[in-house]
Structure 1
Amino acid sequence: MLKFNVQEKFLIAGGTIAGLAAIWHLLMIVGGPEWYAFARAPQYIVESAKAKTFVAPLGAVAIAILMFTCTAYAFSGAGLIRKIPLLKSALTTVALICLVRGLYISPLFYSVKKLGVWHLTASAVWFFVGVCFLIGTINQFVVKK
């Protein structure tokens, strides 16, 4: 039976959330324009989905690949899969990107009228994922493996 320390559990949680978000992005392709709109995709992406051009699905696939990559690095750092090259650098980068994304609800980016439950929830989730990756990254530098 596999035993994980607290830091590895955080990486597993962050990686799982990233993987689920990747699946969500792929499901938007099937769900169509309404799903893109629900996910607050930019208007040109929603229009692409309505017109059935390649921009919306290509963007969704690209984001899903990035998120699945984050999942792979998280699971590698947790010891679920073999070590991936550049593990420490990747975990650090993902942690910083997610933390910045989590702070994206700042009034500098949105007027108060546009801030809603979706923005607050998405920002809170990505901030949590950033914290998970940060804790897991620290573990990579502290624990000799």
Structure 2
Amino acid sequence: MNSSNNKYLWAAAICCAAAALAHLGCIVFGADWYRFFGAGEQMARMAEQGLWYPTVMTSVIVVLLVIWALYALSGAGAIKRLPLTKLALLIISGIFILRGVSFVGLMPMFPENSLTFWLVSSGICLVIGSLFATGLYQQWSELGGKLPNRR
């Protein structure tokens, strides 16, 4: 498959960029955005108080999502090949899929997050992880690997 036509990695990049912008919106627009996206009342209150924690944690997520979008574009051949692209795409796929399926175990650690937050964000993570995984599967040989023989 021609790498510049890998719609799955392009879609994964767009999804990561959109998620990064949504998180950036929480930093810029504050507590109301944290509440709207279901991050919990504690995060919203900390943002209202001007505490550093919501901004730092959300900034880390923004940076990660931007980097992951760049790796998706790299895997799709839209930008220069980044270091360890195949490994990065494999790890990113795994993180998104793991996050998507493990929300029940994560919920007790973040009791203020709404059920809607968990269901929507987990569904989004599963979709994005599937886009990364499918795109990586299609690009595997172009990224320097062989797929296992099918019997």
Is the TM value for this pair above 0.5?
yes
Q: By how many angstroms is 1:44 displaced?
A: 4.0
TM-score after normalising by structure 1: 0.83
**Aligned residue in 2 for 1:119:** 118
Question: What amino acid is aligned across from residue 58 of structure 1 in structure 2?
Answer: V
Cα distance, 1:57–1:127 mapped onto 2, change above 3 Å = same
Cα separation, 2, equivalents of 1:39 and 1:115: 9
Q: Which runs of 5+ in 1 are unaligned?
A: none
Q: Distance in 2 between matches of 1:128 and 1:51?
A: 34
Aligned-pair identity (%): 28
**Partner residue of 1:14 out of 4, 12, 21:** 12
The 1:105/1:59 distance shift into structure 2, 3 A limit, reads: closer
2:90/2:133 contact within 8 Å kept:
yes
Q: Distance in 1 between matches of 2:67 and 2:95?
A: 14
Task: Determine the structure 2 residue equivalent to 1:128.
Answer: 127
Q: Which stretches in structure 2 are left out of the alignment for 5+ residues?
A: 145-151
User: Aligned letter for 2:137?
Assistant: I
Alignment partners' CA distance in 2, 1:116 and 1:48: 21
8 A Cα contact 1:73 1:91, kept in partner? yes
Name the CA shift for 1:124/1:135 in 2 (closer, same or farther; >3 Å).
same
Change in Cα spacing, 1:76 to 1:51, as seen in structure 2 (3 Å) is same
In 2, distance between residues paired with 1:115 and 1:51?
Answer: 21
For the pair 1:139 / 2:138, whether they are aligned, the reply is yes
57-66 vs 33-42, greater mean Cα deviation: 33-42
Q: Higher mean Cα deviation, 30-39 or 56-65?
A: 30-39
Q: How does 1:14-53 map to 2 (within 5 A)?
A: 14-53=12-51
- Alignment check: 8 A CA contact 1:105 1:115 kept: no
TM-score scaled to structure 2, two decimals?
A: 0.80
Preserved contact between residue 75 and residue 81 of structure 1 (Cα < 8 Å): yes
Instruction: Supply the RMSD in Å over aligned alpha carbons.
Output: 2.3
